[in-house]
Amino acid sequence: MRVKLPKPFAQAIIYDDSKLYACLANYPIVQGHTVIVWKKPVSDLHLLSKKDYEYLMDKVDELRNALIKTLKVNKVYLIYMDEANHVHWHLIPRFNEKGFDIFQHKPGKLTDFSLSNKIKKNLVLEI
């Protein structure tokens, strides 16, 4: 059963192209929690072609680097969960916590969109 992913807030969009988009999470567990979503309906990573998988992972890497630079953190957790049956990644900046404790945070509703523009400025895209 496919779960429909929530539509992102337009102001939260960090990156958008014909294959995927990246945005601040609608219900972040920490500041900078970002979601990268494959646009076509693909239920699991192994169903992507090698070329598409590599493209997606390049964008994950680029967004992770932008988050590290923008938020001045050393790590960003890359989380892939397939409960929604739709390929997407969660990028969770690690501030002063390690391990699974970060996942105990209660999500809050995104109301401040100013971080998306700051991340965009630090996004270096490979050509």
pLDDT at residue 3, rounded to an integer: 57
Looking at residue 20, what DSSP letter applies? E
Is 112 exposed, middle or buried (CB count within 10 Å of its CB: 0-12, 13-18, 19+)? exposed
Q: How far apart are CA 117 and CA 14, in angstroms?
A: 7
Banded pLDDT at 82 (limits 50, 70, 90): confident
Instruction: Tell me the fold of 10-120.
Output: HIT family, subunit A (3.30.428)
pLDDT at residue 5, rounded to an integer: 66
What is the per-residue pLDDT across 22-63, written as a single tens digit (0 to 9) for each?
999 999 999 999 999 999 999 999 999 999 999 999 999 999
Average pLDDT of the residues of the chain: 91
In percent, the amount of the chain with pLDDT more than 90 equals 76
Strand-pairing partners, residue 37, are: 21, 88
Structure tokens that stand for 47 in this block: 């169903």
pLDDT at residue 40, rounded to an integer: 94
Query: What are the two backbone dihedrals, phi and then psi, of residue 93, each rounded to the nearest 5 degrees?
Result: -60, 135
